Amino acid sequence: MKTKIVSYEIAHCNSLCRNFYHNYDDEEKCWCSVLNKKIFDVDNNVDIFCDLVEREFPEDCPLDEKV
């Protein structure tokens, strides 16, 4: 079986990041799986399955920055 590496750039902290998720156990607040902590509170009007809100990255975001 062949495997391929995919990389892409994201401009905001939302569901386009593979580390971003809504934690059901924490009233669906936004969490980062790498940091293992809550990074944002959630607005009740947000689609938790396709959250494309344009949020700033947290200061301790584990992703590399484009220079």
Residue pLDDT, tens place only, 3-61: 999 888 999 999 999 999 999 999 999 999 999 999 999 888 899 999 999 999 999 99
Q: Which domain holds residue 23?
A: 1-57
| CA gap 8, 27 in Å, rounded | 30
Is residue 40 a part of any domain in this protein? Answer: yes
Is residue 66 a part of any domain in this protein? Answer: no
- Number of structural domains found in the chain: 1
Q: Which residue has the higher pLDDT, 67 or 45?
A: 45
pTM of the model: 0.84
- Where are the strands (E) in the chain, listed by range? 20-23, 29-32, 37-40
Is residue 14 a part of any domain in this protein? Answer: yes
Site of tokens 């689609």: 47
Is residue 15 a part of any domain in this protein? Answer: yes
Is residue 62 a part of any domain in this protein? Answer: no
